[in-house]
Protein backbone atom coordinates (compact mmCIF):
# COMPACT_ATOMS: atom_id res chain seq x y z
CA UNK A 1 0.00 0.00 0.00
CA UNK A 2 2.78 2.42 1.04
CA UNK A 3 4.81 1.65 -2.07
CA UNK A 4 1.70 2.17 -4.22
CA UNK A 5 1.13 5.58 -2.61
CA UNK A 6 4.82 6.40 -3.09
CA UNK A 7 4.53 5.47 -6.76
CA UNK A 8 1.46 7.69 -7.19
CA UNK A 9 3.36 10.56 -5.54
CA UNK A 10 6.40 10.09 -7.82
CA UNK A 11 4.20 9.98 -10.93
CA UNK A 12 2.56 13.22 -9.78
CA UNK A 13 5.95 14.90 -9.20
CA UNK A 14 7.20 13.67 -12.58
CA UNK A 15 4.04 15.02 -14.25
CA UNK A 16 4.48 18.42 -12.56
CA UNK A 17 8.18 18.62 -13.46
CA UNK A 18 7.42 17.69 -17.05
CA UNK A 19 4.45 19.99 -17.63
CA UNK A 20 5.26 23.01 -15.45
CA UNK A 21 9.00 23.14 -16.02
CA UNK A 22 10.24 21.21 -19.03
CA UNK A 23 7.32 21.83 -21.39
CA UNK A 24 6.63 25.37 -20.15
CA UNK A 25 10.29 26.38 -20.60
CA UNK A 26 10.44 24.69 -24.00
CA UNK A 27 7.42 26.65 -25.29
CA UNK A 28 8.70 29.94 -23.86
CA UNK A 29 12.10 29.37 -25.49
CA UNK A 30 10.40 28.80 -28.82
CA UNK A 31 8.00 31.72 -28.39
CA UNK A 32 10.66 34.26 -27.37
CA UNK A 33 13.44 32.58 -29.35
CA UNK A 34 15.87 32.80 -26.44
CA UNK A 35 16.58 30.87 -23.25
CA UNK A 36 15.39 31.11 -19.66
CA UNK A 37 18.86 32.35 -18.69
CA UNK A 38 18.66 35.14 -21.33
CA UNK A 39 15.24 36.20 -20.01
CA UNK A 40 16.48 36.18 -16.41
CA UNK A 41 19.55 38.25 -17.33
CA UNK A 42 17.44 40.78 -19.27
CA UNK A 43 14.99 41.11 -16.37
CA UNK A 44 17.71 41.65 -13.76
CA UNK A 45 19.46 44.22 -15.94
CA UNK A 46 16.20 46.05 -16.56
CA UNK A 47 14.92 46.13 -12.98
CA UNK A 48 17.95 46.03 -10.64
CA UNK A 49 20.44 48.74 -9.76
CA UNK A 50 23.86 48.19 -11.30
CA UNK A 51 26.57 47.68 -8.68
CA UNK A 52 24.07 46.81 -5.94
CA UNK A 53 24.15 43.05 -5.17
CA UNK A 54 21.09 43.26 -2.87
CA UNK A 55 18.99 44.73 -5.66
CA UNK A 56 20.29 42.08 -8.11
CA UNK A 57 19.28 39.33 -5.65
CA UNK A 58 15.86 40.89 -5.15
CA UNK A 59 15.28 41.07 -8.91
CA UNK A 60 16.34 37.43 -9.29
CA UNK A 61 13.88 36.35 -6.61
CA UNK A 62 11.09 38.43 -8.07
CA UNK A 63 11.58 36.85 -11.49
CA UNK A 64 11.55 33.36 -10.03
CA UNK A 65 8.48 34.07 -7.89
CA UNK A 66 6.46 35.84 -10.55
CA UNK A 67 7.53 34.44 -13.89
CA UNK A 68 9.53 31.23 -14.24
CA UNK A 69 10.78 28.36 -12.12
CA UNK A 70 14.55 27.91 -12.23
CA UNK A 71 17.08 25.51 -10.76
CA UNK A 72 18.61 28.33 -8.68
CA UNK A 73 18.56 28.22 -4.89
CA UNK A 74 15.14 28.86 -3.34
CA UNK A 75 14.26 31.50 -0.82
CA UNK A 76 14.45 29.42 2.39
CA UNK A 77 17.88 27.96 1.60
CA UNK A 78 19.06 31.33 0.42
CA UNK A 79 18.21 32.86 3.79
CA UNK A 80 19.88 29.98 5.63
CA UNK A 81 23.00 30.33 3.44
CA UNK A 82 23.17 34.06 4.18
CA UNK A 83 22.87 33.34 7.90
CA UNK A 84 25.58 30.65 7.93
CA UNK A 85 28.03 32.61 5.75
CA UNK A 86 27.54 35.81 7.71
CA UNK A 87 28.25 34.01 10.99
CA UNK A 88 31.27 32.08 9.69
CA UNK A 89 32.80 35.05 7.80
CA UNK A 90 34.77 32.78 5.42
CA UNK A 91 37.60 34.27 3.37
CA UNK A 92 38.12 31.57 0.74
CA UNK A 93 34.96 30.02 -0.68
CA UNK A 94 34.29 27.48 -3.41
CA UNK A 95 31.01 26.64 -5.12
CA UNK A 96 30.29 23.61 -7.30
CA UNK A 97 27.36 24.40 -9.61
CA UNK A 98 27.08 28.13 -10.32
CA UNK A 99 24.19 28.16 -12.79
CA UNK A 100 23.61 31.92 -13.38
CA UNK A 101 25.06 33.00 -10.04
CA UNK A 102 22.20 33.48 -7.59
CA UNK A 103 23.83 31.47 -4.79
CA UNK A 104 27.27 32.86 -5.72
CA UNK A 105 26.05 36.45 -5.33
CA UNK A 106 24.26 35.42 -2.10
CA UNK A 107 27.48 34.02 -0.63
CA UNK A 108 29.68 36.85 -1.94
CA UNK A 109 27.36 39.46 -0.41
CA UNK A 110 28.03 38.04 3.06
CA UNK A 111 31.78 37.36 3.01
CA UNK A 112 34.08 39.87 4.69
CA UNK A 113 36.18 42.39 2.72
CA UNK A 114 39.12 40.69 1.03
CA UNK A 115 37.24 37.38 0.82
CA UNK A 116 36.69 35.59 -2.47
CA UNK A 117 34.56 32.94 -4.08
CA UNK A 118 35.53 30.64 -6.91
CA UNK A 119 32.44 29.15 -8.52
CA UNK A 120 32.37 26.54 -11.25
CA UNK A 121 29.75 25.99 -13.96
CA UNK A 122 29.85 23.22 -16.52
CA UNK A 123 27.69 24.81 -19.27
CA UNK A 124 29.68 27.55 -21.05
CA UNK A 125 26.70 29.72 -22.04
CA UNK A 126 25.32 29.59 -18.49
CA UNK A 127 28.74 30.50 -17.11
CA UNK A 128 28.79 33.53 -19.48
CA UNK A 129 25.41 34.70 -18.12
CA UNK A 130 26.72 34.25 -14.56
CA UNK A 131 29.80 36.36 -15.41
CA UNK A 132 27.58 39.09 -16.82
CA UNK A 133 25.40 39.10 -13.71
CA UNK A 134 28.41 39.11 -11.39
CA UNK A 135 29.79 42.07 -13.33
CA UNK A 136 26.43 43.84 -13.19
CA UNK A 137 26.31 43.28 -9.41
CA UNK A 138 29.77 44.86 -9.11
CA UNK A 139 31.34 41.69 -7.71
CA UNK A 140 34.09 41.03 -10.29
CA UNK A 141 36.75 41.43 -7.64
CA UNK A 142 35.08 38.91 -5.32
CA UNK A 143 33.68 36.17 -7.59
CA UNK A 144 35.58 34.18 -10.20
CA UNK A 145 33.32 32.14 -12.47
CA UNK A 146 35.19 29.15 -13.90
CA UNK A 147 33.81 27.21 -16.88
CA UNK A 148 34.33 23.48 -16.52
CA UNK A 149 33.66 20.59 -14.20
CA UNK A 150 34.00 20.80 -10.45
CA UNK A 151 36.35 17.81 -10.57
CA UNK A 152 38.81 19.46 -12.99
CA UNK A 153 38.64 22.75 -11.09
CA UNK A 154 39.35 21.14 -7.69
CA UNK A 155 42.52 19.65 -9.17
CA UNK A 156 43.84 23.11 -10.07
CA UNK A 157 42.47 25.17 -7.15
CA UNK A 158 45.90 25.30 -5.56
CA UNK A 159 48.03 25.78 -8.67
CA UNK A 160 45.82 28.12 -10.71
CA UNK A 161 43.63 29.84 -8.13
CA UNK A 162 46.16 30.10 -5.27
CA UNK A 163 43.92 28.38 -2.74
CA UNK A 164 45.60 26.78 0.25
CA UNK A 165 42.57 25.75 2.35
CA UNK A 166 38.88 26.41 1.83
CA UNK A 167 36.80 28.04 4.57
CA UNK A 168 33.42 27.44 2.94
CA UNK A 169 32.12 25.13 0.20
CA UNK A 170 28.69 25.24 -1.43
CA UNK A 171 27.75 21.99 -3.17
CA UNK A 172 24.98 22.33 -5.76
CA UNK A 173 25.98 20.59 -9.00
CA UNK A 174 24.99 17.14 -10.32
CA UNK A 175 23.87 15.04 -7.39
CA UNK A 176 25.94 11.91 -8.17
CA UNK A 177 29.10 14.05 -8.13
CA UNK A 178 28.54 15.40 -4.58
CA UNK A 179 30.35 12.55 -2.87
CA UNK A 180 33.21 11.95 -5.35
CA UNK A 181 33.95 15.70 -5.41
CA UNK A 182 33.87 15.98 -1.62
CA UNK A 183 36.32 13.08 -1.44
CA UNK A 184 38.49 14.82 -4.01
CA UNK A 185 38.55 17.96 -1.84
CA UNK A 186 39.72 15.75 1.03
CA UNK A 187 42.36 14.04 -1.14
CA UNK A 188 43.70 17.39 -2.34
CA UNK A 189 43.87 18.47 1.33
CA UNK A 190 41.77 21.55 0.63
CA UNK A 191 39.65 21.20 3.79
CA UNK A 192 40.76 22.46 7.19
CA UNK A 193 39.41 21.92 10.67
CA UNK A 194 36.28 24.08 10.69
CA UNK A 195 35.60 24.24 6.93
CA UNK A 196 31.83 24.54 6.42
CA UNK A 197 30.29 22.51 3.62
CA UNK A 198 26.69 23.20 2.62
CA UNK A 199 24.99 20.85 0.18
CA UNK A 200 21.64 21.66 -1.39
CA UNK A 201 18.95 19.22 -2.62
CA UNK A 202 20.24 16.28 -0.60
CA UNK A 203 16.78 14.71 -0.28
CA UNK A 204 15.18 15.93 -3.51
CA UNK A 205 16.37 15.24 -6.20
CA UNK A 206 18.64 13.67 -3.59
CA UNK A 207 22.25 12.72 -2.97
CA UNK A 208 21.76 9.77 -0.59
CA UNK A 209 25.37 8.50 -0.70
CA UNK A 210 26.66 11.99 0.14
CA UNK A 211 24.23 12.38 3.04
CA UNK A 212 25.10 8.93 4.36
CA UNK A 213 28.79 9.82 4.25
CA UNK A 214 28.68 13.22 5.97
CA UNK A 215 26.25 11.96 8.61
CA UNK A 216 28.31 8.90 9.53
CA UNK A 217 31.95 9.83 9.04
CA UNK A 218 33.21 11.10 12.43
CA UNK A 219 35.22 13.86 10.73
CA UNK A 220 31.98 15.66 9.83
CA UNK A 221 29.39 17.23 12.12
CA UNK A 222 26.26 17.54 10.05
CA UNK A 223 22.82 18.96 10.54
CA UNK A 224 19.90 19.08 8.14
CA UNK A 225 17.92 22.18 7.35
CA UNK A 226 14.56 21.03 6.00
CA UNK A 227 12.19 22.77 3.64
CA UNK A 228 9.24 21.78 1.48
CA UNK A 229 9.66 22.32 -2.26
CA UNK A 230 6.53 24.43 -2.90
CA UNK A 231 5.40 23.43 -6.38
CA UNK A 232 5.90 19.69 -5.78
CA UNK A 233 5.12 19.46 -2.07
CA UNK A 234 8.17 17.23 -1.43
CA UNK A 235 10.61 17.50 1.45
CA UNK A 236 14.22 18.50 0.84
CA UNK A 237 17.19 19.23 3.08
CA UNK A 238 20.23 21.45 2.97
CA UNK A 239 23.03 19.48 4.67
CA UNK A 240 25.29 21.76 6.69
CA UNK A 241 28.52 20.05 7.71
CA UNK A 242 31.58 21.18 9.61
CA UNK A 243 34.77 19.29 8.79
CA UNK A 244 36.60 18.42 11.98
CA UNK A 245 39.34 16.23 10.50
CA UNK A 246 43.01 17.02 10.14
CA UNK A 247 44.15 19.91 7.98
Ligand X SMILES: C[S@@+](CC[C@H](N)C(=O)[O-])C[C@H]1O[C@@H](n2cnc3c(N)ncnc32)[C@H](O)[C@@H]1O
Using CB under 6 A, list all residues that contact ligand X: 71-73, 96-99, 102-103, 120-123, 126, 149-150, 172-174, 177
Find all residues with CB under 8 Å of 37, minimum gap 6, and list them. Answer: 100, 125, 126, 129
Q: How far is the CB of 125 from ligand X (least distance, A)?
A: 10
Considering beta carbons, is residue 149 or 244 the nearer one to ligand X?
149
Considering beta carbons, is residue 102 or 182 the nearer one to ligand X?
102
Tell me which H or E stretch contains 28.
helix 24-32
Burial of 102 (0-12, 13-18, 19+ CB in 10 A): buried
In 10 A of CB 204, how many CB atoms?
16
Are 94 and 168 in contact, with CB atoms under 8 Å apart?
yes
Considering beta carbons, is residue 7 or 34 the nearer one to ligand X?
34
Q: Collapsing DSSP states into helix, strand and coil, what is residue 47? A: helix
Q: How far is the CB of 5 from ligand X (least distance, A)?
A: 28
Considering beta carbons, is residue 99 or 220 the nearer one to ligand X?
99
Q: How far is the CB of 56 from ligand X (least distance, A)?
A: 12
Q: How far is the CB of 78 from ligand X (least distance, A)?
A: 8
Amino acid sequence: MWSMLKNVASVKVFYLVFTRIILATFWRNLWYWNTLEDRLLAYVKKTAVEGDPASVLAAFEKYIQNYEWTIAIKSAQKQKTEEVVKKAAPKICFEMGCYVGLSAITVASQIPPGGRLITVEYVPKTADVARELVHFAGLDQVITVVTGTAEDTIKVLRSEYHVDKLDFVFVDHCKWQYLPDLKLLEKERLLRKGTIIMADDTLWPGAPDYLEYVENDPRYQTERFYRTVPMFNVRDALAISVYTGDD
